[in-house]
Structure 1
């Protein structure tokens, strides 16, 4: 994979003395009576909400509720699109034909946009979830299919939608090639390989559980410091958005600590849209 590159969307430092970053979390990850994320508490902290669109989690009532509450708080709404995999929470590897995947991405974005617009907002960006996110880092065909889905959704809505993802990924190359804005994402609570990709969740240490370490990593990313990779090397992650996973135990309290630390460090925390 090519070296990490800075984001091409707003979110980079606004001046040499004022670092700026977006704080995002995955929300709406429930179904029926089952709820995984503390949406209300997270919406009080984050500036962008990656809302599950029904394929890995989420249902119409949940999508509507999260969109309404995000709109009330002025939080940007993003469509978190996934493989069709409710049973596996979108984290199982799947082989989906490109034309089918493009249609499913557009379908998910469109479904969420109905509720976002009804709430007085709109879907403002797209971010893949789980196995699709990781597959689109290297798989040019699947990445192109995701971008085609974004194109279809953008054509229908009239709004070109930025694509949030890993810098230097096949997804970002495809999105940039199609004329879409790309936003580089870093993860506060995930371990990195030395090439800037994420350590797979199937491997030990893939998720950072120590709250102090998560907070320190977050401030380091936002202020241009280094993050230690799994092999001990130091990575500099030029990111426009920082993700705290909503399904991590205690995610809301952890996100609040991250936000407080960023504020204390003089970071301007705001959405990239």
Structure 2
């Protein structure tokens, strides 16, 4: 290269200087390019830290879910149906099975759950639910299932003093950071009540004991309809039909048709 430089009239110093400049530029480019993978490693570490933090948050949430279950049971004890419904998702499914005294079945959605709670709690005078053995059996991060054994006791207008043992499995769903019940399964292992017969809901419960005092009225017709229900109404209707038929017959017999 020096020989070519001399032939071209370029000094040796200029050639050496050019070589040094090229080496410096090449070294700088090498270090700049080798720095990019380092940034990628830093980004990967940051992403890994984020996932770790998210996992810790989901695990910590299981403790809150256990507390939510206890609060849910306290709300049921208070027998406030609308407050109880606030614990469920809109499309929640509640299953009662076993010895449920006529309340067993699958109840889909808040509307049916409202009917269930109103029927079960409407005539309860006292109610106590004591959980034991609360344990998280499944945690997917967005759903947590909690199992517990419930000791139920209380007093009802229709059943009298009663007690029951329930195996409960409750699944909470995390929607937008708020935990609500999506599935609830109560398996009534036993139910003991002082009164028997008619252990179902709605009007059939009237067969156990006297009619509810608050449903009595000073109006005898009101009480007649409540006490006798369908048979009384049927008698009134048939009596009315017979009277109309008799009146028509009398009218026709008093006005014979002319020939």
Bin the TM-score by the shorter chain. Answer: under 0.3
Higher fraction of strand: 2
Answer 1 or 2: higher relative contact order, Cα 8 Å, separation at least 6: 1
What TM-score does the superposition give when structure 1 sets the normalisation length?
0.18
What TM-score does the superposition give when structure 2 sets the normalisation length?
0.19
